[in-house]
Chain A
Amino acid sequence: MAHGPAKGFTRWLYTTNHKDIGSMYLWFSFAMFLLGGVFALVIRAELFEPGLQIVEPGFFNQMTTMHGLVMVFGAVMPAFVGLANWMIPMMVGAPDMALPRMNNWSFWILPFAFAMMVATLFMEGGGPNFGWTFYAPLSTTYAPPSVTFFIFAVHIMGASSIMGSINIIATILNMRAPGMTLMKMPLFVWTWLITAYLLIAVMPVLAGVVTMMLMDIHFGTSFFDAAGGGDPVLFQHVFWFFGHPEVYIMILPAFGIVSAIIPTFARKPLFGYSSMVYATASIAFLSFIVWAHHMFTVGMPIAGELFFMYATMLIAVPTGVKVFNWVTTMFRGAMTFETPMLFSIAFVILFTIGGFSGLMLAIAPADFQYHDTYFVVAHFHYVLVPGAIFSITAGVYYWLPKWCGNMYNETMGKTQFWMAFIGLNLTFFPMHFVGLAGMQRRVPDYNQFFADFNMISSCGAFLFGAAQIMLLYNVISTIRGGKKATDEVWENPEGLEWTVASPAPYHTFSTPPAVK
């Protein structure tokens, strides 16, 4: 008989259990999500009206920077890793992750990295104020002294992601139950396999770019310093060589989650499974050759502009295949609209809007107008909030009954959905208009004639924030009690995770399951 969890705090400190570690990742991510959300609300409060009223411009810059960094590296990425920890072993019929001790490490170094990064806000000169993209020389020559701690924090986060990815790849490749061929794996497993490879390829590049910064700042090299023969534009190339694959790292696992949820609530198998796999792989491949679409305005030769423009547009093709498959799965299905499904449908619709604004930005000559305006902010929030955040929320509602054995409160879930949905659109849709009209991003003040739209955005942001508190409340009360969930939870869901009891026992699949 398998033993249960140890008692007390050391259970969490020493645990090598994939479910414990998954839960810790998810809680950590939620804490970071709230923190990043507070930063965002500071930004929106300042932008509620034109003029400077609440914070100093310098602090405003620290807020935009920290909001981006915390959300990308602290909220979205750890949430996906947490879901991977919980679900991948159960989906492939493995007893645990392949490298359970390393798993413990990759989680436990994260809180230290973020404690250090957030601590910079209290240091002399303030925290990072150069944007989440930390372009040199803003982040080298003109950086506050705390930048060294920022660099070190990024190194640790990178190490954590790399260890996590190695673990995930090893689990997927080596621990599948007999009979679980690659093409029988659930799409969440597939998308994570590909994401993990992306992480392994680009997190070292991120580590490289911050290392070069470190050397420029402290050791007299001039990678990014023109005076010493370097070039600040090189920074942007290296950063976006990491940065663009990074944005797909934040969306591919989301594709996997909605590909699990939509078939369940449409009561039809996923349409075009193998095309989904190939589309994911081609998106991952293409993500390596489009990075300079973030740099159309640095002065590239015309051939470069054209290459990156067409390559970027090419990504819309596999992405379109996916959207088509989700819509076709729902087509003439016996659909019901439980909370996870609502979030997933919103994902499909709103992510597509974000894809379209992406296509507009990909038009190099047009991007000269759009670049560094709120239009870009609108674009990436449409792909990240309904993309990454909604899919994670959908996944939490979908699997929560399996994790804790209780059903969540459906009414509250639906209320949260509509609050989040309305809040998000109020916040980010007007940004398209002010962006096209020329409002720059990352500036604490703006022209009077943007005032109305900005006020709408700010109201929407607070509504969206309130919705997240409701999610927290719903999750906690579900963990503490509620209607018991059946082992299947939903009506005929597909996947090995539904064959184990609810709540999932501490140890699952100590002997491999039979795979049909």
Chain B
Amino acid sequence: MTKRFWQDNSTPLLCVKLGAIVVMMFAFAIFIMPPLYDLFCDITGLNGKTGGPFVTGNAENELGVDTSRTVKVQFLATNNENMPWEFRPQIKTITVHPGEPTVVNYLAVNNTRFDMVAQAVPSLVPFKAANYFHKTECFCFNQQPLAAGESAELGLSFIVDVDIPKNINTITLSYTLFDITESQKKKTTLNVINSHQQLAVNQL
């Protein structure tokens, strides 16, 4: 019999190696790239993502309030697409000192005849300010269910960092309100399915 492979390398081994690259790249796309992107945005402040709850009480914040300068903070509200709620900030602009804890409110009214769930997504410009804008409490950390006709005041507490670069005098914070009623339903069904499976597994 003639030798099938002129070279001596092992083809099965090569295929396994190449297959491993394939699996790695697939995993890279799904499991590594999204968190990496979030991390990147977090570091650079890109997209104006403002990050999760800020915990006060560390030494830096006790440096106190920098009364020598002020920063203007503007508030915007946008309804995404077909979101029918009324949604607006109760004050449009506020002038604060860096380091000074401040509380403002947004108003949301569900003037439809349906019970709905909303999610507000923040974005902040200039991007450079994103890492100096700390929210100690924000309605955007949670979903907002409102029954038909119901309204709510949505609170936001924030501190502008004392280290905010000198050339930033105005920060614009915008919230976009998304209707997530449908996707919430989907998730609940999914959870039901999951718990069924759990049950089935437990019974084994």
Contacts and interface: CB of A to CB of B under 8 A. Distances in A.
Interface string B6-49: 11010100110011011111101110011001100100101100
Contact of A204 (B26, B119, B121): B26
A175 B5 contact: yes
Interface in B135-189: 176, 178-180, 183, 186-187
A238 interface: yes
A181 to B, nearest CB: 11
Contact of B6 (A177, A201, A219, A229): A177
B2 interface: yes
A114 B79 CA distance: 40
A241 interface: yes
Interface string A167-191: 0011001111110000000000000
Nearest to A217: B186
Contact of A170 (B15, B25, B34, B178): B15
B28 A205 contact: yes
Contacts of B21: 200-201
B121 A227 contact: yes
Interface in A122-178: 162, 165-166, 169-170, 173-178
Given A220-B187, A237-B33, A176 B6 contact: yes
Interface string A202-229: 1111011101100000011011011111
B80 interface: yes
Contacts of B127: 301
A228 B18 contact: no
B130 to A, nearest CB: 12
Contact of B44 (A162, A175, A230, A301): A301
A201 B178 CA distance: 36
Interface in A96-118: 98-99
A10 interface: no
A313 interface: no
Interface string B101-129: 00000000000000000010100000100
A94 B30 CA distance: 38
B29 A204 contact: yes
Contacts of A178: 6
Contacts of B23: 204
A297 to B, nearest CB: 14
A511 interface: yes
B190 interface: yes
Size band of the interface chain B makes with A: 35 or more
A233 interface: yes
Contacts of A94: 6
Contacts of A99: 11, 15
A227 B119 contact: yes
Given A226-B178, A234-B33, A241-B33, A162 B22 contact: yes
Contacts of B179: 227
A510 interface: yes
Query: Which among B25, B44, B121, B127 has the greatest number of chain A C-beta atoms within 10 A?
Result: B25
A68 interface: no
B25 A95 contact: no
B190 A220 contact: yes
B126 to A, nearest CB: 11
Given A173-B14, A204-B29, A231 B180 contact: no
Contacts of A230: 34
A98 B11 contact: yes
A512 interface: yes
Contact of B37 (A93, A95, A203, A231): A231
A219 B18 CA distance: 30
A300 to B, nearest CB: 8
Contacts of B183: 220, 222, 225, 227-228
Given A220-B186, A227-B119, A200 B30 contact: no
A513 B21 CA distance: 33
A174 B29 contact: no
A166 B33 contact: no
A175 B6 contact: yes
Nearest to B184: A220
A185 to B, nearest CB: 12
Given A202-B25, A204-B29, A227-B119, 15 more contacts: A94-B6, A99-B11, A173-B9, A174-B6, A174-B14, A175-B6, A175-B7, A176-B6, A208-B25, A208-B33, A227-B80, A229-B121, A231-B47, A238-B29, A238-B33
12 contacts: A93-B6, A166-B15, A169-B14, A169-B18, A170-B18, A174-B7, A200-B18, A200-B25, A204-B29, A208-B30, A219-B190, A231-B37
Interface of B: 2, 4-7, 9, 11, 14-15, 18-19, 21-26, 28-30, 33-34, 37-38, 41, 44, 46-47, 80, 119, 121, 127, 176, 178-180, 183, 186-187, 190
**Which 7 A-B pairs have CB atoms at the shortest separation, nearest pair first?**
A208-B29, A227-B178, A204-B26, A204-B25, A205-B29, A220-B186, A220-B187
